Amino acid sequence: MSRFLRVIPVAEAITSLLAIAPDPGVEMVGLEEAPFRILGSDITAPDDMPGFARSIVDGYAVTASDTAGAGEALPSMLLSTGRVEMGSSDPGEIGPGSCRYVPTGGMVPKGADAVVMIEYTEEMGDQVLVNRPAASGENIVAPDEDFTRGEVILQAGRRILPQDAGVLAAAGILSLPVRQVPRIAVIATGDELIPPTADPLPGQVRDVNSIVCETFIRQCGCIPVSCGIIRDNPADLTSALQEAVQRADAVFISGGSSKDERDASAQVIAALGKVLVHGIAISPGKPTIIGDVAGRPVIGLPGHPSSAFIVLLAVAAPLLAAMSGRQMPLRSIPATLTAGIPSARGREDYVRVRLYDGEAHPLFSKSGLLHTLVQSDGYVIVPASSEGYEQGAAVEVILW
Amino acid sequence: MSRFLRVIPVAEAITSLLAIAPDPGVEMVGLEEAPFRILGSDITAPDDMPGFARSIVDGYAVTASDTAGAGEALPSMLLSTGRVEMGSSDPGEIGPGSCRYVPTGGMVPKGADAVVMIEYTEEMGDQVLVNRPAASGENIVAPDEDFTRGEVILQAGRRILPQDAGVLAAAGILSLPVRQVPRIAVIATGDELIPPTADPLPGQVRDVNSIVCETFIRQCGCIPVSCGIIRDNPADLTSALQEAVQRADAVFISGGSSKDERDASAQVIAALGKVLVHGIAISPGKPTIIGDVAGRPVIGLPGHPSSAFIVLLAVAAPLLAAMSGRQMPLRSIPATLTAGIPSARGREDYVRVRLYDGEAHPLFSKSGLLHTLVQSDGYVIVPASSEGYEQGAAVEVILW
């Protein structure tokens, strides 16, 4: 098998992944569990809202025609018939020439068609002087003014934010359809790997990619399924992958760092399914594999953590967004490069940078080192069409 | 009591809150629970990393001086002494004139000071031809090259991202100090309120503010403590607030919508502690109360959900950010207003807008209505120094 069957552009790799992305489907959850989930279908108002005529001010409910021509000099004088209590279902009724106090949010009594703010009234014994005319409907919310029964409140695909949860509560929607959360299996391979809990002997390193993948999966709103560290032999890898595609909707295998180990991953994917991509025009991250095993997308990530992480950002994130229905918002800021970034046409370069005072310092290091991951603030993408950036170039830094 | 003791600017309200923000302190958590938490102190490398000399390529470990002058025409010929296995703690030793195969990530054998990429070599029986000179140190990571023992890996205050979790795993840091997650109590008051699970009679409305506050608190990385719906009388409100300050680090009371109810909240806060702010120059949200009860910040939110939500964004979010150590990143985009937004100098206006094709449509509605909350994409702030924006003005829309 050739080292790279065919190196393809990043966009093409993403397209091949999206073409096989499974739809995890929809499940019903209670309102309490709904926040931050993705709505699975449109939600309509089960009833008119607020459902009754409501005052939006503290004031007196009146018959608007009783206040025609009222002014400071010649107020209308109305008979006070008491007050509506908050939450009361019986606000009573007023007739011509009378009025009733309503607090903000209270139900407007029958017979009233306007509420005069208390600021424009004066109490005198059992009389109320109104010194401003009210228009019919003034300061009243109609029973269906917020939402009309059957109207769409929230549309499918929306991520349920605090205010959305509030409107769902207002409508009494206690159970609702949301997209299922995709489950992503994570397999680490490498004979040199030991769990983070173990003390490495010389030649051994602690498994970094599993926790990076699992945390990234959580960041993307998906559920990681940890499959542990698998030794680099076809038998172990085959049974691990077979189990992974049964337990999850997609699989990330962080491969060994050497050519032999990468080839082992590709052979196992090919034996159980199909290798779709073997090599992407991205740096770092070229030796990435994309496969399809039992209808599950499988991404073979490079073994170097910093390379694997870039492939997660560039290639895996769009897959997780498509499966979860949730776009990860990217934040970026403009900056000036303090050093040039050489690149090769035809390859997308992801270069980590550190920011100081609006200047972006590219961080280069030997492959396999971790420190640039935690010393950087984000990264700059050199597109495939470019041969790099010169010192002083204006770039957009995508923040971690 | 006057309706508003003194209406103060938004910035001053935030300052008064930050002055009394309690520090919830630091707790130890396991590495698995650490992602997305805020680091409580600097983390240093317990050992040199990677801890052994490591090859960064697939190739032959050599003594660099053995390859001096090597070229395609006159390669150096070295005795192959086998291969280093991945993860092996004994890479063996090479002497002058010999070499040993090392996979990427493998340990460099004793006696070797460079690795020649396999591309520049050719195997001939037990001999290896090297057709390029190697410099001492080439393609080798030194034992302390990634991190040196005692060096700061991650700084206090950092939110632990996927790559950070990976570096912590690499360093074998299984337990680490993170900031405690602030607990924020939520009390809803209002005699008209019923739980979302109940069917409202006319005059009643389902409690919206509790779930909005609780979801917002979660969005800010804090833990909501639900205290339920409290009837609007001083005795019930007093005992609810006394319990809340014992259970949480801060308290949000979403007040009734009428003046009487707001005054009740202020009186109870004053009786148990101190009212610091009673009225903020913000629209909507003017009747906001800030108090201090038993060293806990208490925010009395307006009763209207849309007003309460704006106060959460403008005033409560900075408090939660200070307490949690976690800034909520705001995303904004520039847009052109399709209609003017009148405002009053001295007041900050938060106007919800809907976006279409780079145009922002201001959504105005009667107070107390919910639909603009879910029909908007974000909001525009009219600063206190402005009398509003004209149609066609370029504004920045802060997205939900």
- Listed residue (B372, B226, B396) closest to B309, CA to CA: B372
Q: What is the pLDDT of residue A103?
A: 92
CATH topology of domain A26-49+147-179: Molybdopterin biosynthesis moea protein, domain 2 (3.90.105)
A209 and B166: CB-CB below 8 Å? Answer: yes
Domain B10-25+181-324, what architecture?
A: 3-Layer(aba) Sandwich (3.40)
What is the per-residue DSSP string for A241-292?
HHHHHHH-SEEEEE--SSHHHHHHHHHHHHHHSEEEEE-BSEES-TT-EEEE
Burial class (CB in 10 A: 0-12, 13-18, 19+), B272: middle
- Residue B100: CB partners within 8 Å, gap ≥ 6? B60, B61, B80, B81, B82, B83, B84, B91, B92, B94, B109, B112
Q: Which residues contact B248 (CB under 8 A, 6 or more apart)?
A: B183, B184, B185, B225, B296
Give the pLDDT band of residue B99 (cuts 50, 70, 90).
Answer: very high
Rounded CA-CA distance A170/B194 in Å is 10
Q: What is the mean pLDDT of residues B267-280?
A: 96
Residue A247 has phi, psi (to 5 degrees) of: -90, -15
Which H or E run contains A348? strand A348-356
Quick one: pLDDT at residue A321?
Answer: 97
Q: Which residue type sits at B45? A: A
Residues of chain A within CATH 2.40.340.10 domain(s) are 332-399
Q: How far apart, in Å, are the Cα atoms of B37 and each of B158, B170, B221, B320, B325?
A: 8, 18, 9, 14, 9
- Residues B400 and A160: beta-carbon distance below 8 Å: no
CA–CA distance, A248 with A37 (Å, rounded to integer): 19
Q: In this predicted structure, what is the pLDDT of residue A257?
A: 67
The answer to whether A305 contacts chain B (CB < 8 Å) is yes
A266 touches A4 (CB < 8 A):
no
Cα separation values, B183 from B15, B23, B217, B255, B391, Å: 20, 11, 9, 20, 43
CB-CB neighbors (< 8 A) of A232 in chain B: 86
Is residue B119 very low, low, confident or very high in pLDDT (cuts 50, 70, 90)?
A: very high
Check if A375 contacts B (Cβ < 8 Å).
no
- Considering only CA atoms, which of A197, A196, A189, A193 is closest in space to residue A205? A193
- The 10s digit of each residue's pLDDT in B214-223 is 999 999 999 9
> What angle is formed at CA B21 by the lines to CA B16 and CA B22, rounded to 5 degrees?
155
Query: Does the CB of B366 have a partner CB in chain A at under 8 Å?
Result: yes
Give the chain B residue whose CA is nearest to the CA of A259.
B58
For the cut 50, the answer to whether the pLDDT of residue B207 exceeds it is: yes
- Count Cβ atoms within 10 A of the Cβ of residue A383 and give its class: 0-12 exposed, 13-18 middle, 19 or more buried: exposed
Mind giving me the DSSP string for A225-248?
EEEEEE-SSHHHHHHHHHHHHHH-
Distance from CA of B84 to the nearest CA of A (A): 10
Q: Phi/psi of residue B332, each to 5°? A: -140, 155
Residue of B nearest to A54 (CA): B203
Q: ipTM strictly over 0.90?
A: yes
The ranges of chain B annotated as CATH 2.170.190.11 are 54-141
Print burial letters for B53-70: b (CB count within 10 Å at least 16), e (below 16): bbbbbbbbbbbbebbeeb
Structural contact between residues A249 and A319, judged by C-beta atoms closer than 8 angstroms:
no
CA B256 to chain A, closest CA, distance in angstroms equals: 9
From the number of C-beta atoms within 10 Å of its C-beta (0-12, 13-18, 19+), residue A203 rates as buried
Domain with CATH 3.40.980.10 in chain A: 10-25+181-324
Q: Tell me, what DSSP letter sits at residue B172? A: T
Rounded Cα distance, B94 and B81, in Å: 8
Query: Mean pLDDT throughout B278-288?
Result: 94
pLDDT digits (tens, 9 = 90+) for A83-117: 999 888 899 999 999 999 999 889 999 999 999 99
Nearest 5°: the CA angle B374, B377, B382 is 110
Copy the structure tokens of residue B224: 């909501």
* Burial (Cβ within 10 Å: 0-12, 13-18, ≥19) of residue B2: exposed
Measured between CA atoms, how close is B177 to chain A, in angstroms? Answer: 17
* Chain A environment of B209 (Cβ under 8 Å): 166
> Would you call A104 and B303 a contact, using CB atoms and an 8 Å cutoff?
yes
Question: What's the rounded Cα separation, in Å, for the pair A211 and A219?
Answer: 12
Q: B-chain residues within 8 Å CB-CB of A105?
A: 190, 192, 205, 256-258, 303, 368
Name A276's Cβ contacts closer than 8 Å, sequence gap at least 6. A16, A20, A290, A291, A292
The CATH number of B28-49+149-179, from 3.90.105.10, 3.40.50.970, 1.25.40.10, 3.40.50.300, is: 3.90.105.10
Structure tokens at A60: 């007196």
Which position has the higher pLDDT, A164 or B256? A164
- Nearest chain B residue to A104 by CA distance is B258
* Calpha distance B213→B305 (Å, rounded): 10
Q: Is 70 exceeded by the pLDDT of residue B1?
A: no
Residue, of A304 and B224, whose pLDDT is higher: B224
Say whether residue B202 is in contact with chain A using an 8 A CB cutoff: yes
Would you place residue B261 in the very low, low, confident or very high pLDDT band (cuts 50, 70, 90)?
confident
The token duo for A225 is 């399924």
H or E, element range at B262: helix B259-272
CATH of B332-399, one of 2.40.10.10, 3.30.530.50, 2.40.340.10, 2.40.50.140: 2.40.340.10
| Residue from B146, B155, B175, B215 whose CB has the most chain A CBs within 10 Å, to mutate | B215
pLDDT tens, residue order, chain A (400 aa): 444 557 999 999 999 999 999 999 999 999 999 999 999 999 999 999 999 999 999 999 999 999 999 999 999 999 999 999 988 889 999 999 999 999 988 999 999 999 999 999 999 999 999 999 999 999 999 999 999 999 999 999 999 999 999 999 999 999 999 999 999 999 999 889 999 999 999 899 999 999 999 999 999 999 999 999 999 889 999 999 999 999 999 999 998 767 777 788 899 999 999 999 999 999 999 999 999 999 999 999 998 899 999 999 999 999 999 999 998 888 899 999 999 999 999 999 999 999 999 999 999 988 789 999 999 999 999 999 999 999 999 999 999 9
Assigned CATH topology for domain B54-141? Molybdopterin biosynthesis moeA protein; domain 3 (2.170.190)
- CA separation for the pair A133, B139 (Å, rounded): 87
CA distance A365 to B379: 43
Q: What pLDDT, on the 0 to 100 scale, is given for residue A3?
A: 44
Interface test with A, best of B3, B86, B194 (most A CBs within 10 A): B86
Between A220 and B330, the higher pLDDT residue: A220
Task: Using the predicted structure, report yes or no on whether residue B49 has a pLDDT greater than 90.
Answer: yes
If one compares A123 and B328, the residue with the highest pLDDT of the two is: A123
Res A2: pLDDT:
44
Of A104, A203, A369, the CB nearest to B87: A203
| Cα dihedral A156/A161/A162/A167 (nearest 10) | -20
Mean pLDDT across B107-134 = 95
